[in-house]
Structure formats: C-alpha cells, structure tokens
Structure 1
C-alpha cells in the first residue's frame, strides 16, 4: 500500500469520476504495477466472495444442486448470516448489529460460552414445561441478563448509526458540558442559530470516559449486569444506539 501513496492522493477525485464502468477502464489503463496488482487482488476477492454468496443463497432459497458439495442445511457462520440477511434485508442496521455481536462473541469465547449456556438453560426450562419447539418468546429472550448485556454493550461501542444529522428550526442556547476543551474556556453556553445543521456523534458520546468511566472504550458486558452507571441517562430501552 505504501507504493500507492501517490495514487491514493487522487482517490477522492477518481471515486467520483464518471460511471463505474469508466472508472474501471481508467484503472485498467493505469500504467502502474502496484495499481494493477491491487486491482487483481480486488477482483479475486470480489469474485470469490460472489461465488460463496451465490452458493449459500442458492442453498437457502431451494436452488441447491443435488451434485453440489454444499449441504442444503449448512450451519456454518456464512450460511447463518445469509439466512439472517434474508430476514432483515430491509434493515441494514439490524444486520450490521447482529454481525457485530457475533464478531465480538467470537473474540471473547468465555462470554460466548456463558451466553450459550444461559440460552440453553432457558430452553431446558421450556422443555420441562412441555414445550419442544426449541424457540424462546420475546419476553424470555429479554429476560436473559447476560445476553441483554452483550447486546447493549455491543450497541454502545458500535452503534449501527454512529451519528445523526439535525437542522435547527428555532434558535437555541445550549450549555457546555464539563470537559477539557480549550475552545470552551470561559464560555458557559453557545447559541445555535435557526437553520444550523448539527451532527450529533452517538459513537462519541457512547465512549466518553466522563460518562462510562476509564474503561469506556473496552467491550465489557459486565458493566450492564448491575444496571447502567449512575452517570448514564438512557432515553429508551436501547437509547444511544
């Protein structure tokens, strides 16, 4: 990538240059060995990913070939994610949140095992009551403390919508919160005129050490098991996500 340092300076301009087919042609005609190497790597990754997804989707949608080595009811992670993606295809925030939760659990196998055991214990309770469906209702899922903590902690650190944009319809004076900003020294508030576009950083506020403590940037579901910290004010069940 260092060999592309000069080319990368023009990337913002080239990414908006004409149609995708034209940009592709420009890349193919670029007489630079590093550019062509990256293009070939990108093509291999893209084609391989497309082939994997096609085979997984075909198995899920019933277009599975009998002579294919791909099992019709595969349980691997990609197959499961494809099934979930089909279910939440109109909600990219849901699919991205689920993917991030699975990723964080994979990085913390002990917590993953504890969550699995928590779910299995609840399923055993249902079976003892005569329910053999192997499913949990909404109230039962939300009653699992560790699973709930994992979801909340993942959404805190990695909100599907990292920021929101709003435009003021009235002039407002907003008080400064406590902080170390030199720009706010000596100022207690700021006046926001009508028609001002404001970007509110959800991801930033979710990582404030003044709110979440010195470990604000660490993924620690345990912080939710005893209830949210006193400094945290949540407007909703999953506020701040």
Structure 2
C-alpha cells in the first residue's frame, strides 16, 4: 500500500470513529437524560399519595438528607400510608412502600427490577464487576460459582477462623486493660477493633490470605485506609458528579477535584493488593497441580473451599465450561465486594449489638450467664449457634440495626403490582394495585420494614431479644432469606453471605461478652447514624472524627 493510501486509510478511520462516537457514546447517554426529564410525565406513580414537591431540582431528597432518612420516610408512611411516592431530582417520582405484598412482588421479579445504572456506577468505582454491581445472566453465573462457599457445612468448616480471631481480639483488649494503672477503666473504639478483626476473618475465610489487621502497622492498614477513602468519596459526590447523573453528556468534562484524585489513588491501592492476593492464590493452585505456570488445573483438583479458590477455579481450570468462567476483572471485583460485605457490615452490626448491651445491662448480664455455660476455649460452632438467648440478641440486633438499610430498583418494563390492602390515590379512587411503568424507581428501606408496629407490635422500636421466643405471626409475610426480617433482602438478590455473617457475629459476641463487661462511654443520645450505604455509628458531638463507637471495658470476675 502506498504512503498516500495509508494516509487516506488513517484519515477515513479517524473520520469513521468521529462519526460513530455520538452513536456509541453520546446517544445512549442523551437518551437516558431525556428519559429522566420525561419520567414525571409518563410515570405510573404520579397519582399515588405522597408529599408535595419541595424543589424541582432536588425534589424531596433535601428533606431526607437533612435528617436521618428513615425518620423522614417513616413520618410520611404515618401520614400517607404504606404505599406512596415522593419526588427526586428534576421532579421524578419514586415509589416507597412498606406493604409486604409489594415488596414480595418486586423481590420475586428481581430480573425486571435491576439496580439503577447510576447506583451501579457508584458501587463499581469501589467494587468493580462484583456480585453487588452486576445484573442479569452475569449475576446468575457469578452467584452459581460462589454458592458452594456459603452453605451450612462450609460455614461450620470456617468457624475455627472465627474463633481464632475473636480470641485474638479478646486477648488484645484484656492485655490493654492489664497495662492501665489501678482503678483506671480502659476505653476502646469497638467499631475500629471489630473492623480489624472482621477484615482478618474475611481475608482468611474468603481468600486464604492473612491481612494481620489486628497487628498494628500491617499492610492491612493501607488497605483499610484505601477502602474507607474510596468508599466515603464515592458516596459523597460533588456537584459535578450530581450534574453528570442528571445530564450524562457532562461526563465528557474531566473531573480534577481533590476528592476524585484520592478516590482514584485509593482504588489503585485496592487493585494492587487485590491483584497480589489473586496471583498468590493462582501460584498456590498451580503448584498444587504439580508444576509452574504451564501446569493444567482441573476443577476436581482444587480442594480448597475458600471463596477465592472457587473463583480462581472458574478462572483457570481447563475443564470448566465457558459459560461458568470468570474473568480476571470479575475475580478482582469479588475481592472488593466481599471485603465490604464481609468486613464492614459484620463489624458494624456487632458494634451495634454491643451498643445495645451497654444500654441494657440487664440483658448483657442475662446473656453472659448463658455464655458462661460453655468453656471460653474449646466451644464449638454448633454449641454457640444453639444458645437461645444469644440467638435472640443477634436476631434483634439485625432487626433494629440494618448495616445496608436501603436500596433502589428501577422497573425494566411495565408492571401491575398488587397491594395487601386497598389505598386511595390522589384522585380519590380506591385502588388495589400500583401501575409501575418502565423507568419508575422503587425504594426499599429494610430498617423501616423491620420496625413496623403493624408487624412487630407496639414495642417494635424496643430492643427485646425475648420476642424471638415467639415471633409475631405477621412477620411471616416479610420477604426474607433469614428469620423473617428484611435485613439480608430476599430472593435471587438476597445476601449470599448471611450464614457467614450470623456465625461470625455470634462467635464474636460469645468470645467477648463472656469475659468482658461493656459499658457506655458516651450518652446514647450522642450517637447518630448518617444516610450512607452502610449505617455506621458516629457521635453528634464529634462528627469530624467520622465513624466510631467508644465503650468502657472491664474484666469479668468469674
């Protein structure tokens, strides 16, 4: 080919690329932006009861963000009933319902109600192509690969790791108490300590990798710091990112903000450590197959049952069907996903359990009396799991304190959703169903459902482990994968690791509460939660310090 022909070819290639750019990149984003602008006109939700629009740009979102979101929405439920809509940005409508028949319908039709694309993009900044971010056939394939890691027998096999790390944490706390002068009470931020222990647990049980987070100065410090920076930054978008969500064409404008820079740096740290974990596991599996990089791994030759071994098997085994394979990016995404889901949520929930025990010392004493029936060392997973009062404490904590308390779904096609009871719309018409049109958003608040007096009784807001001796009959109507509470969601999108989480929380509480008395270090009214993805505690008096839960610790005199 002559030089002039090459130049002409390159010119035409660039010209074709420039012509295709609007179609491939801009047009879908323009379409999505127009769909958002038109949603208030076409929505099936516009005639539902609900609050008046406070702002065309922000809708009712400003009211929710100004306080604890669930409190605002619970107030609207009292005023408008279990089925209503409120306004989001640019006047769009969002369905909110605590009607368990509505919830069950959406959960049962999960494929038709995916997460909205902007939520998936936000989560994807941290989690990559992990289980929480993907939809459809990809989600189904990933879940099928991972299901064996979370069955009852596998959790029992992993329980020695839970005990080891719980006992290590107990030893550290007792050691710190022993170094204090006489008559001095040790104060600890239990959220921070439990976060370290949970990170170690998910590292060993999930990936066969020891973060050694309970050992100060380990590489886990950089991972935890990077995760928290990326996590916090992605959930606190700046004005440009909010405008990009509303008008996707603005994604062409580069974002050079300090916040974005830190999020990118943190994400790079997470990828570096995650990639090292994967490479170490691959090397170990290849060595077990009898050779180096040229060794052939077959699925039956992979004996390890930790999550990462199964993922790597689906990544490199020669006899795994193409439809069941996972890419390197998908494997990396699962590490980030399970660090968040198996670390942040478990440590936060256990912290809330200890908080409730400091608020109710009589419950703590009753629980400790039960725990002392088993030896501090040598108790088994089955023995701890069978303790009835501990079970009630954990269930009641999970009911009242949902780590990830809300989520949003968007209808991928039109649906007529039935309700349990009739309601009256804004036109005065009694209705038994909701017209949810393609593009309409549905918002779930799991904490609100778990605190409904119509289900749990007039004492629904009280911490009462005894209620689980005889749960209310109406609880059976709540869609759930665990204990008729909405905490772990339900259906095909229900939390795959709920057994893992419950076992770890029980073993942590058994090990710590048996030998340590926990007392409040601050007044309960100083504790608040903020509307982010994970409902962490922080102090009203010290918001600049971020998430924390300080407690006073004393040694039990058995």
Q: Is 1:78–2:177 an aligned residue pair? A: no
Q: Where in structure 2 are there 5+ consecutive unaligned residues?
A: 1-61, 63-167, 178-185, 200-338, 488-558
Q: Residue by residue, what CA displacement relative to the aligned partner does 1:142-189 show, whole Å, maximum 9, x if unpaired?
A: 211111111111111121111111222232211223388775861111
Q: Which has the larger radius of gyration?
A: 2
The separation in 2 between residues aligned to 1:112 and 1:152, in whole angstroms, is 15
Q: CA deviation at 1:94?
A: 1.1
Q: Which has the higher contact order (CA 8 A, sep 6+)?
A: 2
SS at match of 1:86: helix
Alignment of 1:1-241 (within 5 A): 73-75=175-177, 76=186, 78=188, 81-89=191-199, 90=339, 91-123=343-375, 134-178=377-421, 186-226=430-470, 228-233=471-476, 235-238=480-483, 239-241=485-487
1:80 Cα deviation (Å)?
5.6
TM-score (norm 2): 0.27
SS at match of 1:211: helix
Inter-partner Cα distance in structure 1 for 2:454 and 2:431: 19
Partner secondary structure for residue 176 of structure 2: coil
Residue 169 of structure 1 aligns to a residue in which SS?
A: coil
Cα deviation, residue 84, structure 1:
2.2
Residues 158/83 of structure 1: CA separation in 2 closer, same or farther (3 Å cut): closer
CA distance in 1, matches of 2:401, 2:173: 33
**Which of 192-201 and 105-114 deviates more?**
192-201
> CA separation in 2, counterparts of 1:71 and 1:208?
38
Once residues 187 and 450 of structure 2 are traced to their aligned partners in structure 1, the CA distance between those partners, rounded to angstroms, is 29
Question: Aligned partners of 1:135, 1:206: CA distance in 2, in Å?
Answer: 35
CA shift at 1:197, angstroms? 2.1
Distance 1:211 1:169 in 2: 30
Question: Which secondary structure does the structure 1 equivalent of 2:408 belong to?
Answer: strand
- Report the 3-state secondary structure (helix = DSSP H, G, I; strand = E; otherwise coil) of the residue aligned with 2:431: coil
Q: Aligned-pair distance for 1:216?
A: 1.3
Deviation digits for residues 64-92 of structure 1 (CA, Å, limit 9, x no counterpart): xxxxxx99922546266544221224321
Counting matched residue pairs gives 165
Distance 1:120 1:200 in 2: 40
TM-score by length of 1: 0.59
The 1:185/1:214 distance shift into structure 2, 3 A limit, reads: farther
Aligned mates of 1:206, 1:100 — CA distance in 2: 15
Bigger helix fraction:
2
Q: 1:216 to 1:147 in 2, by over 3 A?
A: same
Structure 1 residues 108 and 196: alpha-carbon distance in aligned structure 2, compared to 1, 3 A threshold: same
Q: 1:108 to 1:169 in 2, by over 3 A?
A: same
Q: In the aligned structure 1, how far is the partner of 2:417 from the partner of 2:453?
A: 21
Unaligned runs of 5+ in 1: 1-11, 13-59, 62-69, 124-132
1:11-62 CA-partner distances (Å, limit 9, x unpaired): x9xxxxxxxxxxxxxxxxxxxxxxxxxxxxxxxxxxxxxxxxxxxxxxx99x
- Between the aligned partners of 1:71 and 1:139, the Cα distance in structure 2 is 26
Of 147-156 and 185-194, more deviation after overlay is shown by: 185-194
C-alpha RMSD of matched pairs (Å): 3.0
